[in-house]
Structure 1
C-alpha cells in the first residue's frame, strides 16, 4: 500500500514540474490570457501534493499501528500456547505493552494485568511478588473473550484448570502478615468447607464436630456455610439430616443420636401420640407403609388420641 502511495506522489511531482517548465518554454501561454488557468492548475497541483503527503503519513501511522497489533497478537498467541508464563518474560511483555491484559495459560481464575505496579501482584509461598499477576474473586473466573472476571457459569476454561474451592485461590491460599513479619500459610484449609466433587445440596461441614453445621454446595462450589436455624414450628434447634435441617421430633430415633421420632416398624398405618416421656402433646407422628413422619398441631391445639387428630378443648387425652 505504501509503495502505491509513493508512486502517486511521484506522479504528481512530475506533472507539476511539467506545468512549471511550460511557462518558460512557451511565453505565449501567459499572453494568451491563460495566466489564471495556469495558477488554478498550479494551486490544484499543490493541494494534491499536500493531500498525497497527508495520505502517506497516515499510511505510515497505520502501518506502525498494525505492526504493533500484530506483535501484541503474536504475544497473545504465545501465551495461548503456554510459552509465556514465566514472570521474567511477563515483565518484558508488560514493558513493551503497559496496557496489555492476558489470561493465565494454566489456571482459569488467574490473569496478567500490565497496567498495575509490578510488585502489587499476587504473592508466592515466600511472600515475594508474582509480577503483574492478578486473580478473580471467588468463585469468579477469567474470560478469554471479555478479558474480565465473570461469573463461573459464563466462562469457558477450555484447557485451563478450573479451581472450585476457595482455599485453592491464590489470594486465600497464601496469606502474608507484613506487620508481624511472617507468612501464615494455608490458614483457609482449617475452616472453609470444600464442595468440589459434591452434588448440589446441603452437607455436614467437615470442619465442625457438631451436625448442626452445614455447607451448601452448587456446581462443586461452596456457596454458603453456617448453622442450621431454629425451627419456629417446633420451637427447637435443628440438625442436618439427609440434606435438611430438621427438629429432633422429625429425626428417626434409629438414625440420629438426637432423634425423637419413633420407628413405625411393625406398626399399622395411622396417627399416634409421641411417647409420654417426650412431652409432646401438641404433636403426633403418622405411620404409612412403615415410614414415620412428625407433625405439629397448629396453634394451641393438642393431639387427641381418641380421634387421632388435633383438637381444641378440655377433653384431650394427653399426658403432660
Structure 2
C-alpha cells in the first residue's frame, strides 16, 4: 500500500491531481494502479489506485496519448488529441469565463471554468429532456422557445447522452424511455413493449405522456396496437 501512495506522490510533482468526486470511470477495486483516458478532455486521464480515483491533468502544452496513456508534448508525433478537443481548449485559453452553444447539438453547451487549471478544455454540459440550450438566455429552455437552426435537435430521452447506459447491467434506453420517432401523432404502443400495458402519446415527434393500461385484481389490460386503446388481456367469455 505504501508503494501505491508513493506513486501518487510522484505524480503530484509533475501534474495536477484532484480526487474524482463526480466522474466514476474506475472499477470498484484494482490490484495495481491503472489509467483511463478522460472521454471528454485529452489533457486528462483518470488514475485508479486501490479504491480511489484521481483526475490527472497534464502539464501545460502536454496531452494524453490514447495508447500509452501518458502525457506527451502537444503537436509531437505522439499527439493523438482530436482537433475538436484542441479547439475546446483554445476556446478557454481565449475566453476563460464563457458559456456558449455546442456547434452541432442543440441540447448541449460548452462551459469554460475560470477556476479550472490553465489549459483545461471547455466542459460539455447537456440539458435535461425535453429542454434545449438557448444562446439568447444562456440557459436550458423548453424546446418550443429555442431556435436550433442547423444544429441537431434531440427529440427523445435516448438522443440525450445522459440517459444512455453507463454500465453493462443497465436496461436499454428504449425500454426505460420511449421514443416517438416515426410514429403518428396521438396514442401509440410503446416501441419495444408491444403486447404489454405500456403506451405513449406523441406530439410534434416527442413523447408528451407515457403510461400503462389498468392492471387490477379483476382487470388485466394491454394496449391494442391496432385500435390504440386498452383492452382485456384475456377477454371474458360471457356466453352461457
Q: If the length of structure 2 is used for normalisation, what is the TM-score?
A: 0.53
RMSD: 3.4
Q: For 2:219, what is the secondary structure of its paired residue?
A: coil
Q: Which residue of 1 aligns with 2:197?
A: 212
Once the two structures are superposed, what CA deviation does each residue of 1:250-285 show, in whole Å capped at 9, x if it has no partner?
xxxxxxx7456xxxxxxxxxxxxx9434xxxxxxxx
Query: Is contact 2:220-2:234 (8 Å) kept?
Result: no
Change (3 A) 1:97 1:174: farther
Q: Of 78, 85, 97, which aligns to 2:95?
A: 97
Instruction: Indicate the structure (1 or 2) with the bigger Cα radius of gyration.
Output: 1
Deviations along 1:41-78, one digit per CA (max 9) or x if unpaired, are xxxxxxxxxxxxxxxxxxxxxxxxxxxxxxxxxxxxxx
* Deviation at residue 209 of structure 1 after TM alignment: 4.8
Structure 2 residue corresponding to 1:240, chosen from 205, 218, 223? 223
Alignment pair present for 1:150 and 2:141: yes
1:157-176 Cα deviation digits (max 9, x unpaired)? 1111111121121112352x
Q: Would the aligned equivalents of 1:198 and 1:220 in 2 still touch at CA under 8 Å?
A: yes
Q: Which residue of 2 aligns with 1:222?
A: 207
What is aligned with 1:107?
105
Unaligned 5+ runs, structure 1: 1-84, 120-128, 178-182, 249-256, 261-273, 278-320
- Please say if residues 202 and 215 of structure 1, whose CA atoms lie closer than 8 Å, have aligned partners that are also in contact: yes
Higher relative contact order (CA 8 A, sep 6+): 2
Pair 1:111–1:191, CA change in 2 (3 A): same
Richer in helix (by share): 1
The residue that corresponds to 1:161 in the other structure is 152
Give yes or no for contact 1:101–1:147 (8 Å, CA) kept in 2: yes
Structure with higher strand content: 2
Secondary structure of the corresponding residue to residue 94 of structure 1: helix
1:13-92 superposed matches below 5 A = 86-92=84-90
Write the distance in 2 (CA, Å) between the matches of 1:206 and 1:130.
Answer: 38
Give the TM-score normalised by structure 1.
Answer: 0.41
C-alpha distance in 1, partners of 2:98/2:156? 28
| 1:133/1:190 CA distance change after superposition, 3 Å | same
Q: How far apart are 1:106 and its partner, in Å? A: 0.9
Does the 8 Å CA contact 1:116/1:132 hold for their aligned counterparts? no
Q: State the secondary structure of the residue aligned to 2:130.
A: coil
Cα 1:188/1:117, change in 2 over 3 Å: farther
Name the SS for the 1:238 alignment partner: strand
Query: Residue 150 of structure 1 aligns to a residue in which SS?
Result: strand
Q: 8 Å contact 1:199–1:219 — kept in the other structure?
A: no
Q: Number of matched residues?
A: 154
CA distance in 2, matches of 1:167, 1:130: 26
What residue ranges of structure 2 are gaps of 5+ in the alignment? Answer: 1-82
CA drift at 1:145: 1.8
Q: Does 1:276 align with 2:226?
A: no
Shift of 1:216: 2.5
Q: How does 1:295-306 map to 2 (within 5 A)?
A: none
Q: Distance in 2 between matches of 1:204 and 1:130?
A: 43
Paired residues of 1:118 and 1:131 also in contact (CA < 8 A): no
1:223: how far off?
A: 3.5
